Amino acid sequence: MQASTSNRPRVCVPVCEKDLGALRNGCELATEWADVIELRLDCLTELPEQLPSDFSRPVILTFRPTEQGGHRDSTHAERKAFWTSLAPHIQSAYWDVEADLLAELSLNWPRIIVSHHDFSGVPDDLEQIYERLAATPAAVVKIAVQANDITDCLPVFRLLDRARTEGRELIAIAMGNAGIATRILGPSRGSFLTYGALDDESATAPGQVTARRLRSLYHVDKIDSDTMICGLVGLPVMHSVSPYIHNAAFESEGINGVYLPFEVRDAKEFFRRMVHPRSRELSWNLRGLSVTAPHKQTVMECLDWIDSTAHEIGAVNTVVVDRDRLLGYNTDAAGFIEPLLVRVGSLRDATVAVVGAGGAARAAVYALRQQNAVVTVFARDAEKAKLLGVSCESLEGASFAGYDVVINATPLGSGAYIDQTPVTSEQLNGVRCVYDLIYNPRETRLLREAVAAGCENLGGLEMLISQAKLQFELWTGKKPSMINEAMSNVL
């Protein structure tokens, strides 16, 4: 590994194991995705007399004390002893040394990464910390801070811009889910490398994405300054399958684009500081956003123009960055209705029961009315149901006999409610088709109830893909193919 000034991304996989056998094993597994392997020697329960030296990738040695985010309660003297006696056995490794030890060691500076970690937040004196570390002869400076909000990515990106203009090698990371953009986009903005976990259970820092996903989902090696950036804004977003849909679509259409999860608490601040071209503090090629709960209404206040469908539904799920303007759309309604029409044909005068009165129900009711269906909302909260402007009934003890279509627009059947169903087979007697908007799991308890009652059934994945295709077209002008195939490998 050469300390180079090129922007070629490098993925480093940390291996943190309790004994040498497991460490060797981990290194072998890491080889598939790593350019560089970080040996987290602070994870070893007992330090051996000698360390192995035959690795199939360049290595970084790390011996981090607990108080700086490591796994070992070692004294200053023990840390010093490690670097002077044990570490030199591994030839030509990079050493990741905390700043407080630098002055006390005799170091081969071209192999030194000098590091600073802050697990509580972004320190006010971040720039000064960088200046102090950059003033040492170390080959690479590493600064990792905790992102408590997505806007905490801004000072980290600023630091990368500064290091690039100063010709200094820097690894800068905002840890935590809110900082994931720095891990995925960092190398394209000059970060010396980015860290990727061996698997979902092995992350050595908060928010660390697996190396496999960095490479095979986000294609981190291909991201450059021309890459079109899109993403999903919501809270939570880390469970979402949208990155699988859109990144597969970019890949299949040969478009230089990447789609990331943006975990956002305060949508207005995110739009002001990072999204709106007239106010943002970040220069990036942001092209579009998907918007999910709880921000579909709030973002409407941040846009320059909203299309009439989104206005009528009262929610925006898609944002397009069009030069210096932000445009808002809603693709949920069209994405919802398309698979249903394919399944049942015309909905004119069809009687349709929508269960739930939240955002998805709102888009469904809008689309169904456009098709001249006769819609009734069944909800536990009558006041909320009334706001949808169609007839409504209580969900408790409801019978759906005589309805052509029953739609589930509640979370019952997914996540914490995975074993639940809003409607049982007895209530579905005589219903033609049951449409569950839940897409994960693909087969919900409601769909099983529908089969038991002899109804046709339709899951939510078709809607998810259908609305995503419309989003993709809004951002790129292209209709994506291959999405269905890509999705069947994921869910």
Site for ligand NAP in 443-472 (CB under 6 A): 460, 463-464, 467
Strands (E), 93-227: 94-98, 112-118, 140-146, 169-175, 194-195
Cβ–Cβ < 8 Å for 160, 135: no
Cα–Cα dist 215/28, whole Å: 17
Number of residues that bind ligand NAP (CB under 6 A): 26
SS3 assignment, position 259: strand
Task: Determine phi and psi for 185, rounding to 5 degrees.
Answer: -95, -15
**Site track for ligand NAP across 401-440, x = CB under 6 A:** --------xxxx-x-------x--------------xxx-
Instruction: Give 147 or 395: the residue with its C-beta nearer to ligand NAP.
Output: 395
Cα–Cα dist 267/291, whole Å: 10
Cβ–Cβ < 8 Å for 290, 232: yes
Span from 5-13, 54-62, 84-92, 379-387 in contact with ligand NAP (CB under 6 A):
379-387
Strands (E), 249-362: 257-263, 286-291, 305-306, 318-322, 325-329, 351-355
Residue nearest to ligand NAP (CB): 358
Q: What is the CA radius of gyration of the chain?
A: 26
Tokens read off for 273: 């500081």
**Site track for ligand NAP across 290-319, x = CB under 6 A:** ---x--------------------------
Peptide bond between residue 441 and the one before it cis (omega within 30 degrees of 0): yes
| Total H helices, total E strands in the chain | 15, 20
Q: Which of 18, 268, 296, 386 is catalytic?
A: 296
Instruction: Give 208 or 466: the residue with its C-beta nearer to ligand NAP.
Output: 466
Cα–Cα dist 235/257, whole Å: 23
Q: Minimum distance between the CB of residue 379 and ligand NAP, rounded to whole angstroms?
A: 5
Q: Minimum distance between the CB of residue 415 and ligand NAP, rounded to whole angstroms?
A: 8
Instruction: Give 293 or 451: the residue with its C-beta nearer to ligand NAP.
Output: 293
Q: Minimum distance between the CB of residue 448 and ligand NAP, rounded to whole angstroms?
A: 17
Instruction: Give 15 or 367: the residue with its C-beta nearer to ligand NAP.
Output: 367
Site for ligand NAP in 334-373 (CB under 6 A): 356-361
Task: Indicate if 268 belongs to the active site.
Answer: no
CA torsion sign for 374, 375, 378, 384 is negative
Q: Who contacts 345 (Cβ-Cβ below 8 Å, separation ≥6)?
A: none
Instruction: Give 69 or 339: the residue with its C-beta nearer to ligand NAP.
Output: 339
Q: Minimum distance between the CB of residue 425 and ligand NAP, rounded to whole angstroms?
A: 18
Instruction: Give 452 or 491: the residue with its C-beta nearer to ligand NAP.
Output: 491
Q: Minimum distance between the CB of residue 462 and ligand NAP, rounded to whole angstroms?
A: 8
Q: Minimum distance between the CB of residue 335 and ligand NAP, rounded to whole angstroms?
A: 6
Catalytically active residues, by annotation: 296
Give the interface with ligand NAP as residue ranges (CB under 6 A): 293, 332, 356-361, 379-381, 384, 395, 409-412, 414, 422, 437-439, 460, 463-464, 467
